[in-house]
Each structure stands twice: as C-alpha cells, then as structure tokens.
Amino acid sequence: MSDRITQLRSDFDFELAAATAEAEATLLRDRWVGRKSGLLTAEMKTLGKLSPEERKTVGAELNVLKGYVEAAIEKLLDGFAAKREAEQLAKERIDVTLPGRRIPAGHLHPITLLRHRIEDIFVSMGYEIEDGPEIETNFYNFDSLNIPANHPARSPQDTFYLAGELADKLALRSQTSTMQIHAMQKRQPPLRVAAPGRVFRRDTPDATHNPMFYQVEGLLIDRGITLGDLKGTVEEFVRRLFGPETQTRFRPSYFPFVEPGAEIDYTCFKCGGSGCRVCKGSGWIEMGGSGMVHPNVLRVVGIDPEEFTGFAFGLGLDRLCALMYGLDDIRLLYENDVRFLEQFT
Ligand code: DAH
C-alpha cells in the first residue's frame, strides 16, 4: 500500500474515533466521501496524473479505502440512529398496568338531593311538580293569600321589596305559598301540585337562619277533601322520607290562607321520639305549616268553596337538610366550600 493511502487511512481512523455525535458523523462523511468536496473524491481526481500502472494500483487501493470509509461511517450513523430510537422509545414508554387517571365527577348539592327525594315521593302520590317566579307582585305574595294589610309578613322589615318605582309593588317571594295561586290559576280542580323553590326573608344569617332558603309547597284541591286527608298525606310523606315508624302531630296554628291551620311535627328520625340531640330532647321535629285552604283563597281564583275543598302545606328544606346530615350551621350549605360539599354524594 502506498504511504499516501496508509496516511489517509490512519487520519480517517483518528477522526472516526473522535466523532461522538450524530452531527459529527455526518460532517465526517461529507469531509471524506462527499460528492463535491470529499477528500477521497478529490484524491480520485488526481489519478489522471499518474502513469497507467500506478493509476491501476493506487486506484484500486483508493477504492478499497473508500469502501472502508463509507462502511465505517454508515456503521457509526446506524449506531447513533439506533441509540436515538431507543431513547425515544424509553421516553414514550407507556405502563399499561397503571390505573387510569379518573376524571373527577361532580355531584348534586345536598339540598338538591333532598329536594329530589321529596319530589319523588310527591310524584308517586300523584302530584305535579311546579316551579314559579321568585319575584312576585303583592297580589301573589300577600293579597290573594288572604294576608291582610297589617300582617307583619308584609313589613319591609321582613320582606325584600324591589327598589325604585316598583317599590311596594314587587318583592322577592317570602314563601312558596304564592305557588298555590299560580297552580290554581293554571288548572281546574281536582289538582295536586308540589312546588319546591327558593324564598327570601330579611333574616340576619346565623346557624339556623339564612335570608334565602328553600321550601316545598303542597296543594291538593278536590271534592270532599277533609283535614283527615291532610293528616293522611303528611303522615304518608314522612313515613316514606324517614321510615314507616314515623308519627306526626298537628298543633293548631294561624296562617291567613288556611282555616283551620296547624303546624306539623314528626317524630325524630334519629331517636324515634325518645329525645336526642337532633330533636333537642323533645322527640319531635317541626316540619312546617299546613291547613285547609281558606275559602277566600279559593274565591280569588274562581273556585267555588261550596263545591271544592283542599289542603295546603309548606315545609322548609334547609333545616331539614341540616338535621339529616348533622350540620350545626345551615350557612355551610351556601358557602360553596368544595371540601364540605364533596361529603354528600
Ligand atoms: N307559608 C308558610 C310559611 O312560610 C308555611 C305554610 C303554612 C304553608 C301553612 C302552607 C300552609 O301551605 O297551609 O311559614
């Protein structure tokens, strides 16, 4: 082998050993066998100046060297490519045995959960569920419900009236009893309606009061309805909600839109009536107001009280919800603290 070829080969070996990155290997290829400026390409071009014999041997040696260089660089590049691929695979490796990432599912608010349970009970007893306006005229809020002008419920101290021109005419409804009138205006008796919804009163918030809370109103009008039907319905309702052992009691009370009127208590769902922390030792829990729909209320909507009678009742959801879930402060229900709400699935 000529000295020249030997020198070239050892130069190449030296540079080959120094190429430690893919880009360097590519440069090495261009430098040695590149079509335009490769060292060996240039060397080939000098062959023409040699004598025919020399050209033959040197040419053959050069060809061998060229083959060697090309193979060495190819091997080097292949090595880098394999390494790159292996790295990529390692980076993208998926452990199919890992559990999937759960998308956190939300759930309904505790008051909504309770409202749904109550709605289901009334629907199963043939009631229609109805929704109505939260801003009401004095007619729906008071007059039609036989609430006289001097009744404390009408006082601005207890009711949120709208500001401006409409002051004294429009107010946030202070009870779902407004729905009795809407329900009777919409349909003819016989009818059964349950209307859950928000009501608003100027209460200072504390552990048992909130200026906004939920009620469910019930109304049934038909021929020959008596106080016995009211008691039976309420009893059936609390038994379905709290269990078949639950008892009710009626305490005479006054609500302008019923006659007679009564407050309903039921035996404590926690202790069954023996007295505990939930019922404050009395064995009874207050459910709400009720009574036989006042003839004046029926007349307002054009129903003849001689032909039809009916009963109505209203119960509060927030305190009931607080008792059932053992909350000592109903304000928790409206603070929207996810740590609190998450507990009621
Ligand atoms: N609306 C009354 C209140 O908020 C509750 C009530 C009492 C509703 C008697 C009724 C009823 O339907 O008959 O205090």
The rounded distance, in Å, linking the Cα atoms of 42 and 56 is 17
Write the DSSP symbol of residue 314.
Answer: E
Length of the chain: 345
Residue 69 reports pLDDT greater than 70: yes
Could you identify the atom of ligand 1 that is nearest to the CA of residue 199?
Answer: 4
Q: How far does the centroid of ligand 1 lie from the alpha carbon of residue 195, in Å?
A: 12
- Is the pLDDT at 302 greater than 90? The verdict is yes
Indicate the SS3 state at residue 246: coil
To test ligand 1's pocket by mutation, which of 177, 313, 320 has the most ligand atoms within 8 angstroms of CB?
A: 177
- What is the pLDDT at residue 182? 98
* Higher local confidence (pLDDT), 104 or 254: 254
Is residue 216 scored above 90 in pLDDT? yes
Q: Quick check: helix, strand or coil at residue 336?
A: coil
Whether 23 has a pLDDT exceeding 80, the answer reads: yes
Give the model's confidence band at 250: pLDDT under 50 very low, under 70 low, under 90 confident, else very high. Answer: very high
Using DSSP's 3-state secondary structure scheme, residue 135 falls into strand
Task: Give the pLDDT confidence score for residue 286 in this predicted structure.
Answer: 95
Q: Is the pLDDT reported for residue 168 higher than 90?
A: no
Higher-pLDDT residue of 56 and 168 is 56
- In this prediction, residue 4 has a pLDDT band, given cuts at 50, 70 and 90, of confident
Closest residue by Cα to residue 238 from 156, 303, 320, 340 = 320
Ligand 1 center from residue 173 Cα (angstroms): 13
Ligand 1 lining (C-beta closer than 6 Å): 175, 177, 217, 255, 258, 261, 288-291, 312-314
pLDDT bucket at 12, cuts 50 / 70 / 90: very high
Q: Whose CA is nearest to atom 13 of ligand 1?
A: 290
Q: List the residue whose alpha carbon is closest to atom 10 of ligand 1.
A: 313
User: What DSSP letter does each residue of 78-133 carry, written as one string?
Assistant: HHHHHHHHHHHHHHT---TTSPPPPPPP----HHHHHHHHHHHHHHHTTPEE----
Q: CA distances (Å), 31 to each of 44, 69, 77, 219, in order?
A: 14, 11, 15, 96
Q: What is the pTM of this model?
A: 0.73
Provide the pLDDT for residue 1.
63
Ligand 1 center from residue 142 Cα (angstroms): 12
Residue 301 clears pLDDT 90, i.e. is over it = yes
Ordered DSSP codes for 215-257:
EEEEEEEETT--HHHHHHHHHHHHHHHH-TT--EEEEEE--TT
Strands 212-222, 309-316: pairing is antiparallel
Average pLDDT, whole number, for the chain? Answer: 93
Ligand 1 atom closest to the CA of 314, numbered from 1: 8
CA 17/CA 13 separation, integer angstroms: 6
Q: What's the 144 CA to ligand 1 centre distance in angstroms?
A: 14
Among 37, 44, 49, 45, CA closest to 66? 44
What is the average per-residue pLDDT within 156-180? 91
Fill in the DSSP letter of residue 309.
Answer: E
The pLDDT value given to residue 149: 87
Q: Is the pLDDT of residue 337 over 70?
A: yes
Cis ω before 133 (30° cut-off from 0): no
Task: Give φ, ψ of 137 to 5 degrees.
Answer: -80, 165
How confident is the model over 111-165, as pLDDT tens digits? 999 999 999 999 999 999 999 999 999 999 999 999 988 888 888 889 999 988 8
pLDDT-derived band of residue 333, with 50, 70 and 90 as boundaries?
very high
